[in-house]
Structure formats: C-alpha cells, structure tokens
Amino acid sequence: MKLFLRSALLLFGLLILYFLSLLIAEAIPNGWVEKNAELSFKTLTAEGEVPVLWITSGGISLDNFTDNTMIRLSVQSSSKQGFISSTLDKRGGRYWHGFIVVLKPLLIFFQYKQIRFLLAVILFLLTACSTYLLKKRTNVYVALAYLLSLICVHIYIVPFSLNFSSVFIIMILALIALCLWPLDKYKWLPTFFLIVGSLTNFFDFLTAPLVTLGFPLVVYYCLQISRGNGREEVKVGIFGLFKFTLSWSVGYALTWVTRWLLHWIIVGKGIWEDVGDTMLFRTMGNSDYVLNRVEMWKKNFNMLVSRESVFLALAIIICVIAVFLWHKRAYRGKTWLEGILKSGTIKDAALKSVVAKGEFLESDAPRGITLAGELPKGEIHKSESTTLASEMLDSGSETPKGEIQKDKTPKNGVLAKLPLLIIAVYPAVWVTVLASHSQIHSWFTYRIFSVSIFAMLVVFFSVLSYQSKDIRDKTTQQN
C-alpha cells in the first residue's frame, strides 16, 4: 500500500511538472527562436514532407511534415490574456506536446540541421552505453540481440527526425537505468515502469510508444533469470511481466486522460467528442481512410522485409555464425571452471588451486547456467540445486567428484522462454487494436516490431549458446 501511495504521489508530481514546464517553455520570447526557426523551415521545405534517405525504402523515410508542425507549435505565440488556456489549446489539445519543453530552448541556439546532429550524437552515445551495460549485466548475446533489433528498424535514421527520436531516447535511458538498478531495489520497478509510460505519453506523437515498454521488459527478464536457475525465477518473470505492463499502461493512460481533463477544465471547449472521434478513427478508420486489416499487416511487414532488410538479415546470420565459432573456440580444450576463471569471475585462491590440479571436470559443470549460457561477471551462479562450485565457495570443503545435482528446470526449456514469447506478441496486439493508425502510418509504426525481434533473438541466441555448451561438453569428454 505504501508503494502504491508513493507511486500515485510521484505520478501526480510528474503531471504538475509537465504542466509547469510547458508554461515555462511558452514564456520564452519568440524573438529568441524566430531566426533559427525560419532557417529550419527552409530546410524542411527543401527536403519535402516525407523524404527518403539514401535508399528507396519507405522504412527509411523521415517525417518532416510532423517535424514542421513541432517547430511551428514551439514558436506559435500564446495569447497574453489567455496564456494558460491558449497553451493547452494548441492543435486541439489532445496531446501534451512535451517536445516543446526541449525543442524551444534548443531553437534559441540551433537550427534544424544542428539539432539533428546533436540528436545523432546523443543517440549514438546512449546506444553505445546501453550496449556496454547489457553486455556487463547479462552477456554478449543479449547485447548483440539488442543492437541487431535496432538495426533492423533503421535506428541510424531516427535522430534525423524529431518525431521519431523521443521514444527511442526514453527507451534507451530506461535500459540504462535498469542495468544500473540495485538488485535489492526491484520492488520499485512498478513505479519505474509507471514513470516510463507517463514520460512516453508526454513526449511522443503516437509513433512507436511500445518500444519503451517492450525493450525494458525483455532486459528485466534477462536480469531476473540470470539471478537464479529454478522455476521460481520464471514465475517471478511472468508475474513481473504483467505487473510492469499494467504499471506502464496506467502511467501512459492516466497522463493522457489528465491532459484532456486540463483542457476541458481550463479551456472550457468540448474535447470529449473530438477524443471519441479520434479513437474511432485510429482503430476503425473512416470513409476517407477505409480500414483493411490485411493491407495494414502487409504494409507493416513490407517495411520490415524490404531489400535493405535482406542485407541486414545476411549481416545477422554472419554475426551469429561468428559468435558461435568464437564461443566454441574460446572453450575448446578447457574445463567449464577454467573458462570462467579466465574471465575473472572467480578469484578464490583455493578454488583456483583445485582447477590447477585438475580436480574439477567439465562434466561437473551445472547444465543451465543462465538464459544465454554464461555467468554474469562478478558473481557465482547459484540455483536451487547445490553445485560443487557453490559448496566450495561457501564452506571451503571439497565435494566428491561427480556428486552434483542437476537443476530440474532447464533454462532453455519452453517454460523459460515463455515470458519472452509473450513480449514478442505485444506489437501484434498493438497494431491490431490501433489498426487504422498502423495502416496509414505504417512507414514508422512498423518500428514497434523491434520489440518482437529483440525478444525472439534473445530466445534464438539462448538456444544457440546452450548448443554451444553441449558441443564443449562432448569435446571435453572425447579428450
């Protein structure tokens, strides 16, 4: 109950902060931003509303039309006599337009091209940092799956569109926060997802909001399953999956409803009819935009499976083979414990002495190590069963060779993958509900399927690494 009240108070504080930050941004004199705004409009006009970068694929199109709208809303004057109401009434009042809080101050110093470059630098640094932390906290397979899923949806063009950038920046910051999150503070994660959902609604223009939920869920599960090896971790993962999904949804929905309430109370205009009509249009279409769900699925699929995606798929296959061969070669001729000793995971002198004497065999290694088949750096893996290594570390006593209990719940079974498979379905549910929106704007809504790619690649790499370990087992036994 305390956590619920704290979360509610925190969300209430965030909503107040949103409102005040918009008023402060609106108070910036337009004369400070007019010059850079005009230069930005010239760039946007020269490029066109939906320019395609480098390659003739709709999936690599920019949304200059919405970027133009974002800049115009940022420099649009609010009435001094109705300052608050005119601020809330911009473009109908359905969205928070939180981007104004960041974009208007940036326009004081930079024009559109320079803001693009700044976003590219920020996104590159954040992606590099998050990849490093994923490798450190989980393993190389999860980090590789993360990078490949971003590449498949053309992450490299995202910073060139203001409209696309916000959700990916929020998502990457959320991943960094998760990787740095203390293990004893996991009870705060519902609040964390509540905040992420709220921030997504504040900044986003309904581009690909689901990425701020799906990616953190996958990473959470990888972190959770790496802490243990039994059924309990899988149950906790499934329970957390639904709990955090609900938290994110509540944060996202309440933030949006609060925006409509503020408009209704302060502006006084009828907004509920507009909201209802828009909801019906986003889900069911209208006479001008007739919904065809088969066509909607085809359009989103074609954005993913384009000519460029074929080349990316080949690159993925090459990376997978390279990792598999590297993993196989790295452990050839070594025992399981020698491998993790070399990585610096175990620094116990007595344990090193046992390995040096050859008293620990590859066959003594626990079968299910982690989701992706490696030990997290800096800690010994402990499962519900008692392994030889954990007994030696805890008591310093020797255990007769071969008396190791195997975990009854293999990490690479269907049960262990169930939460990831559920997450992979999220984008399909999203586009099915918001079918009309996903059909009209398929050239950017398809990016939510990066969640499915990430989840499925983690599953695939977990199977691959487990098979790689089986190969190492057989090689050692033959030797």
Measured CA to CA, the distance from residue 275 to residue 312 in angstroms comes to: 40
Domain match, 191 and 336 both: no
Domain match, 256 and 362 both: no
pTM: 0.79
Domain match, 32 and 175 both: yes
Domain match, 220 and 351 both: no
Instruction: Look at residue 86 in the predicted model and tell me its pLDDT.
Output: 60
The answer to the question of residue 125 being in a domain is yes
* Helices vs. strands in the chain: H and E counts, helices first: 21, 0
Instruction: Look at residue 310 in the predicted model and tell me its pLDDT.
Output: 64
Instruction: Look at residue 76 in the predicted model and tell me its pLDDT.
Output: 78
Q: Among the three residues 370, 387, 408, which one is the final residue of a domain in this structure? A: 408
The residue range of the domain holding 140 is 10-78+86-315+414-465
The answer to the question of residue 200 being in a domain is yes
Q: Which two tokens stand for residue 306?
A: 């384009």
Domain match, 379 and 445 both: no
Instruction: Look at residue 262 in the predicted model and tell me its pLDDT.
Output: 86
Rg of the chain over CA atoms, in angstroms? 26
Instruction: Look at residue 409 in the predicted model and tell me its pLDDT.
Output: 40
Low-confidence ranges of the chain (pLDDT < 70): 54-59, 77-92, 183-184, 225-237, 269-270, 306-310, 312-313, 316-317, 320, 323-324, 326-415, 464-479
Q: What stretches of 434-449 show up as alpha helix (H) in DSSP?
A: 435-440, 442-445
Instruction: Look at residue 471 in the predicted model and tell me its pLDDT.
Output: 40
Q: What stretches of 181-306 show up as alpha helix (H) in DSSP?
A: 189-203, 211-225, 231-262, 272-284, 293-304
Instruction: Look at residue 384 in the predicted model and tell me its pLDDT.
Output: 36
Compute CA distances 283 → 297, 424, 430, whole Å: 14, 21, 10
For 227, phi then psi, to 5°, come to -85, -15
Please state, as a whole number, how many other Cβ atoms lie within 10 Å of the Cβ of residue 276.
10
The tokens 């009434």 sit on which residue? 89
Q: Among the three residues 408, 427, 453, which one is the final residue of a domain in this structure? A: 408
Q: Among the three residues 391, 408, 425, which one is the final residue of a domain in this structure? A: 408
Tens digit of each residue's pLDDT (9 = 90 or more) over 325-353? 766 665 554 444 444 444 444 445 555 55
* Residues 45, 227 contacting (CB under 8 angstroms): no
Domain match, 203 and 333 both: no
H or E segment at 132?
A: helix 112-137
Instruction: Look at residue 235 in the predicted model and tell me its pLDDT.
Output: 66
Measured CA to CA, the distance from residue 290 to residue 344 in angstroms comes to: 60
The answer to the question of residue 474 being in a domain is no
Rounded to the nearest angstrom, the gap between the alpha carbon of residue 107 and the centroid of all alpha carbons in its chain is 28
Compute CA distances 91 → 62, 86, 263, 264, whole Å: 21, 10, 12, 14
What DSSP character marks residue 266?
A: I
The answer to the question of residue 1 being in a domain is no
Domain match, 381 and 431 both: no
Rounded to the nearest angstrom, the gap between the alpha carbon of residue 360 and the centroid of all alpha carbons in its chain is 40
Measured CA to CA, the distance from residue 100 to residue 24 in angstroms comes to: 10
* Residues 303, 446 contacting (CB under 8 angstroms): yes
Instruction: Look at residue 272 in the predicted model and tell me its pLDDT.
Output: 80
Rounded to the nearest angstrom, the gap between the alpha carbon of residue 309 and the centroid of all alpha carbons in its chain is 20
The answer to the question of residue 478 being in a domain is no
Measured CA to CA, the distance from residue 280 to residue 94 in angstroms comes to: 14
Please state, as a whole number, how many other Cβ atoms lie within 10 Å of the Cβ of residue 250.
18
Domain match, 45 and 187 both: yes
The tokens 């990792």 sit on which residue? 323
Domain total for the chain? 2
Please state, as a whole number, how many other Cβ atoms lie within 10 Å of the Cβ of residue 316.
20
Instruction: Look at residue 224 in the predicted model and tell me its pLDDT.
Output: 78
Domain match, 195 and 242 both: yes
Domain match, 133 and 50 both: yes
Instruction: Look at residue 337 in the predicted model and tell me its pLDDT.
Output: 45
The answer to the question of residue 237 being in a domain is yes
Distance in Å from the first CA to the final CA of the chain: 59
H or E segment at 42?
A: helix 34-47
Domain match, 252 and 376 both: no
Domain match, 154 and 71 both: yes
Angle, CA 181 vertex, CA 175 and CA 185 arms, to 5°: 135
Measured CA to CA, the distance from residue 405 to residue 410 in angstroms comes to: 13
